[in-house]
Chains A and B, each alone.
Chain A
């Protein structure tokens, strides 16, 4: 999957309470959630985000609660990929499980600036900063996670496995 978009950049420890505040968790409708994505840290996010845009952030992105509403809100906002120095672990697995592409790459996360134009080749783990001309390599996904992503998330993966098991 090839991804290309403009970067919206944030700092360290972006927690799930600012990604989607708890006061909006009385719904799980993705488009409703998207309306409030990032609003406690960045009131302009919802108005300026465009389909395909990429979030780049510092350390421990997505720390805090286990709410899957956080990656869901980001994905429903049109964000195509999140690149960070590191991710909090529950956010990491949630993003994989719902099919939001994420890449851990400290060099890229540090060097890329807000507003840069970036392209990503997920399968190869390559990140290209089209604005600066720099190129970065993130650790590729282990096979097992690649399988989950290819099956469009964890539930698709399980269904596929179940179907295979009944065939044989």
Chain B
């Protein structure tokens, strides 16, 4: 029975020889994740149902990242509620302000997820860890509660779409441009309920940070998960960050895919998603003159060190446009420190940008950079829905760190080549 990479991982975790698309299974999970928005709901479900203990104190990660450092009293109460639960249960992987980072940048960095794992998270961008060759997917708070109690989750085995990646990306083309290009091509429901399996020798040109960005936005095409094969770069990353044993799964040669797309990196141009859907993409040369008021560089999509390096390369020796607020949010403390050591902060501050402690903040319109009526932002985040970053009549344009940094300088959506 030929299986895709995702199907093999699921079969193994369900204790089955093989699985077929559409089959409902129960699988063991290697990590259960929650944040400051979703965990309180999960905890009250867990408590209501009367469970006394979690299934494994080492296999639950709770990261208060959305409204932290707490922006108001209600948010503070929510995290206090979580903190009490964490203490009572003895949950090991809880990340307080000071150690905290945006969850999907933090978990791989802390070595909590490795190849072959099954991970569920009460956050839709849990699909990020597919970059490591793990099956990871977003679920709701009740799923989180159930998994904390039993160590299992139910899944419908997905069909898969295969993306054959080839060629070498051009200058200023990053993982963000590749995934925006793909979402523009297949639409926000183009992979609904399915896995997106990436393959092909183009992958060798992508660093881990680019792969995290691509897997992160699989959900923006409606996918259940996105997954990359494991290569030397993945193994090197895991050796550097984790002591957990990993397992490499490969799709069978004759596995069935509901669709196959071939993507040639050399044909992709820097890409921007216009409001109010990630599928409304245009290449940078078709953008036109769009004045902006804010730039946000950060989030679980593009707040990693290589993202900050590219932004700094573009902003070096230049000034943020007087009509623009530029906010830079390194995704974790480790990334923050690294950026500081490399002198990237000097570049950002001299350019007139603000640097924030790690938080989701403006990505979901929480705090730290909310838009007023009629304002436009270029953000390296992953969603540009109505009201996502503030007022319902504000607009978010999704782009790579290079485009975002260049736009901050130009005061309009621009490529670094135009500076």
- Interface 9-mer from A105-113, A115-123, A130-138, A153-161: A153-161
Q: Are A17 and B388 interface neighbours, CB within 8 A?
A: yes
CA distance A23 to B366 in the complex (A): 6
User: What does the 1/0 interface line of B114-126 toward A look like (CB < 8 Å)?
Assistant: 0000000111101
Q: Are A60 and B138 interface neighbours, CB within 8 A?
A: no
What class of interface size applies to chain A in its complex with B? 35 or more
The interface residues of chain A lying within 8 Å CB-to-CB of B332 are: none
The interface residues of chain B lying within 8 Å CB-to-CB of A153 are: 142
CA distance A136 to B355 in the complex (A): 55
CA distance A153 to B141 in the complex (A): 12
Indicate whether A50 reaches chain B with its CB closer than 8 angstroms: no
Chain B contacts with A in 329-383, Cβ cutoff 8 A: 364-366, 383
Q: Are A158 and B66 interface neighbours, CB within 8 A?
A: no
Q: Are A66 and B222 interface neighbours, CB within 8 A?
A: no
* Chain A, Cβ-Cβ closest to B45: A155
The interface residues of chain B lying within 8 Å CB-to-CB of A28 are: 40-41, 44, 78
Partner of B138, one of A13, A25, A66: A66
Indicate whether B37 reaches chain A with its CB closer than 8 angstroms: yes
Q: Are A17 and B40 interface neighbours, CB within 8 A?
A: no
**Would you give the shortest CB distance from A62 to chain B, in whole angstroms?**
11
Q: Are A158 and B41 interface neighbours, CB within 8 A?
A: no
The interface residues of chain A lying within 8 Å CB-to-CB of B72 are: 26
Indicate whether B48 reaches chain A with its CB closer than 8 angstroms: yes
**Would you give the shortest CB distance from A10 to chain B, in whole angstroms?**
12
Indicate whether B294 reaches chain A with its CB closer than 8 angstroms: no
Indicate whether A166 reaches chain B with its CB closer than 8 angstroms: no
User: What does the 1/0 interface line of A124-168 toward B look like (CB < 8 Å)?
Assistant: 000000000000000000101000000001111011000000000
- Interface 9-mer from B163-171, B188-196, B237-245, B248-256: B188-196
Indicate whether A15 reaches chain B with its CB closer than 8 angstroms: yes
Indicate whether A67 reaches chain B with its CB closer than 8 angstroms: yes
Q: Are B41 and A41 interface neighbours, CB within 8 A?
A: no
Interface, chain A (partner B; CB < 8 A): 13, 15, 17-18, 21-23, 25-28, 40-41, 59-60, 63-69, 72, 86, 88-90, 93-94, 97-98, 142, 144, 153-156, 158-159
Interface, chain B (partner A; CB < 8 A): 24, 37-38, 40-41, 44-46, 48-50, 66-67, 71-72, 74-75, 78, 121-124, 126, 138-143, 145-146, 149-150, 154, 188-189, 192-193, 219, 222, 224, 277, 364-366, 383, 385-388, 392
